[in-house]
Chain A
Amino acid sequence: MAYDVVIIGAGMSGLSAGIRLAYFDKKVCILEKHSRIGGLNSYYKKGGHEFDVGLHAMTNFVARRDRRKPLMRLLRQLRIGYDELDLSEQTRSSVRFNDKTLYFTNDFNTLKAEIADKFSAQIDGFIKLTDHIDSYNELDINAKTFPAREVIDKYITDRLLSDMLLCPLMFYGNAKERDMDFWQFVIMFKSIFEEGFARPFEGVRRILRILKNKYNECGGELRLGSGVKKLTTANDGSLRVVLDTGETIEAKKVISSAGYVETMRLCNSSDEPDEVPPGKMSFMESLYLLDKTPADLGIEDTIIFYNNRERFDYKNPDTLIDEKSGVICCPNNFAYDTPLKDNILRVTNIANSDLWERLSKNDDEYARAKETSMRLTRNAISQYVGDFHSSILYTDSFTPATIRRYTDHINGAVYGTEEKIRSGKTRVDNLYICGTDQGFLGIVGAMLSGITVANLYALK
């Protein structure tokens, strides 16, 4: 049985591509290796509690239903109503570098006022940088790009400010160490600072459920527990998808969200070298279930991006984790109509995947290392959130090894390869990639990526 399109991976990008294709009557099948959809943005249940993975918040919040904004464009493309998302806005977030704090909200003027107040010599440059960003079309897959710092330095001469601006954007989407591509910087700047954060009351589950239901309604087929082992090209140019079970599926086209290197490995013989190195940036996340709301513990912000070093250094650490910088997320601190059932604090730190993979082979050592790392993090963030040790009811954590195990992304690299394949094309005819390695970032970016690749190569 031949499909028009087979999609590898039922994450945000694969599901979005699937909806477009199924809606327009293509015979489409999504193959998901895991027993659950979501990929890098998923959820699990442990100790009777539900936890989200990946997504801290939806970026790209729009309140005034501005049709041109990415979130509205993707909802139109997927024929999903804005209200279905049930979004609640963040209260306030911050970037905290020791004693220097910049607050921002979903009103861009908050950040402008903060910079005018705390970096008064830089505000004119910041406004000019913003104008430059606004005039750049980051969704054009052919747009020229440069190192972001090169551009930022033309407008902002205080390294502390440029680091504070880069910090949230890097943590939420950067596959490169120390610098970003300018077009990715623009995507993240608009989605986080100009548009902002919101969250469905039910978290990532709601978004995934909407996507899955829409896909089913359109007649798309979803196969869970169906890992792909090999991709080969038939004489007529169509593709043969060989599953782990040995079953072979034929497809005129394949769109893969498995990652670029991961996808090409499915096509190559095992001794062939990778064309580009796999990404390295991965994270450890510590989850704390608390007996009080974060607000009762004095934590008012929705998301805190912090750095304790003299200079912010976004890179793969030599140690298990880099506890000196990271992200603290309080899912409770969104403006919901009713409070969440559980009080949760999530802390995300860059982690060295090689070291974690090695440790994960020994259960005891691995568990001990997780515990030690969580303690280091808790100490490192106490200057921002106080000591919440006595309020902890339950903890859990996951590492690059966990991410690799559940998503099959090499190194558990959350943001994929350093160099993005913006066109979505591969050297194999009729094989395309979408998702994090195509380079639209964040979950809104992931969905737009699936839509764009489906439109360009399977619908037009």
Chain B
Amino acid sequence: MTKEDVRKSVLDIIASIAPDEDLSGIDGDAPLKEQAGLDSMDFLDIVMELRKRYSIDVPEGEYMELVSLNSSVNYLAPKMENI
């Protein structure tokens, strides 16, 4: 997957968790928490969806890597390189 594909996959997952949210104007560097209104239960779901869809494990100690869209892409890109 290219970085752009990874970005799309992450946005796809967020859209499935928060269907009523408008994700078009999202600022890649700002925390997702405020922009997409995600709480801790939702963050767990992003992790779970990554495992369900791409068999990627995000250890609990690394959850903060998913804080913004850009940090998520940077963190996930190497893990998703071969998908």
A interface residues (Cβ-Cβ under 8 A, vs B):
23-25, 65, 67-68, 73, 76-77, 79, 81-82, 451, 455, 459-460
Contact with A along B1-38 (1 / 0, CB 8 A): 00000000000000011111100000000000000010
* Chain A residue at smallest Cβ distance from B16: A79
Q: Using Cβ atoms and an 8 Å threshold, which residues of chain A touch B17?
A: 76
The reply to whether B18 and A67 contact each other, CB–CB distance below 8 Å, is yes
Q: Using Cβ atoms and an 8 Å threshold, which residues of chain B touch A77?
A: 41, 45
Asked whether any CB of chain A lies closer than 8 Å to the CB of B57, the reply is no
Interface of B is mostly: helix
Q: Using Cβ atoms and an 8 Å threshold, which residues of chain B touch A451?
A: 41
- Please, how many angstroms separate the alpha-carbon atoms of A451 and B60 in the complex? 19
Besides A24-B48, A65-B20, A77-B41, 4 other A-B contacts (C-beta < 8 A): A76-B41, A451-B41, A459-B48, A460-B60
Q: Using Cβ atoms and an 8 Å threshold, which residues of chain B touch A81?
A: 19
The reply to whether B44 and A67 contact each other, CB–CB distance below 8 Å, is no
* Residue of A25, A67, A451 ringed by the most chain B CB atoms within 10 A: A67
The reply to whether A67 and B41 contact each other, CB–CB distance below 8 Å, is no
Asked whether any CB of chain A lies closer than 8 Å to the CB of B81, the reply is no
- Please, how many angstroms separate the alpha-carbon atoms of A459 and B50 in the complex? 13
The reply to whether A73 and B60 contact each other, CB–CB distance below 8 Å, is no
- Please, how many angstroms separate the alpha-carbon atoms of A70 and B72 in the complex? 27
With contact pairs A79-B16, A81-B19, A460-B44 given, residues A73 and B52 touching in the complex (Cβ less than 8 Å): no
The reply to whether A68 and B37 contact each other, CB–CB distance below 8 Å, is yes
Expressed in whole angstroms, the minimum distance between the Cβ of A22 and any Cβ of chain B is 11
- Please, how many angstroms separate the alpha-carbon atoms of A82 and B60 in the complex? 30
With contact pairs A24-B52, A455-B44 given, residues A76 and B18 touching in the complex (Cβ less than 8 Å): yes
Q: Using Cβ atoms and an 8 Å threshold, which residues of chain A touch B16?
A: 79
Listed from nearest, the 9 A-B pairs whose CB atoms lie closest are A67-B37, A24-B48, A24-B52, A65-B20, A76-B17, A25-B52, A77-B41, A455-B44, A73-B41
- Please, how many angstroms separate the alpha-carbon atoms of A161 and B19 in the complex? 41
* Chain A residue at smallest Cβ distance from B49: A24
- Please, how many angstroms separate the alpha-carbon atoms of A411 and B9 in the complex? 51
Q: Using Cβ atoms and an 8 Å threshold, which residues of chain B touch A25?
A: 52
Q: Using Cβ atoms and an 8 Å threshold, which residues of chain B touch A79?
A: 16
What are 5 residue pairs bridging A and B, where the CB atoms are less than 8 Å apart in the complex?
A24-B52, A68-B39, A76-B41, A76-B45, A79-B16
The reply to whether B48 and A67 contact each other, CB–CB distance below 8 Å, is no
* Chain B residue at smallest Cβ distance from A66: B37
- Please, how many angstroms separate the alpha-carbon atoms of A79 and B18 in the complex? 9
The reply to whether B41 and A455 contact each other, CB–CB distance below 8 Å, is yes
* Chain A residue at smallest Cβ distance from B48: A24
The reply to whether A67 and B52 contact each other, CB–CB distance below 8 Å, is no
* Chain B residue at smallest Cβ distance from A72: B20
- Please, how many angstroms separate the alpha-carbon atoms of A76 and B60 in the complex? 21
Expressed in whole angstroms, the minimum distance between the Cβ of B83 and any Cβ of chain A is 17
Q: Using Cβ atoms and an 8 Å threshold, which residues of chain A touch B19?
A: 81
The reply to whether A76 and B42 contact each other, CB–CB distance below 8 Å, is yes
With contact pairs A24-B52, A73-B39, A460-B60 given, residues A67 and B20 touching in the complex (Cβ less than 8 Å): yes
- Please, how many angstroms separate the alpha-carbon atoms of A302 and B41 in the complex? 34
Expressed in whole angstroms, the minimum distance between the Cβ of B38 and any Cβ of chain A is 8
Q: Using Cβ atoms and an 8 Å threshold, which residues of chain A touch B52?
A: 23-25
Expressed in whole angstroms, the minimum distance between the Cβ of B78 and any Cβ of chain A is 24
Expressed in whole angstroms, the minimum distance between the Cβ of A235 and any Cβ of chain B is 28
- Please, how many angstroms separate the alpha-carbon atoms of A125 and B45 in the complex? 40
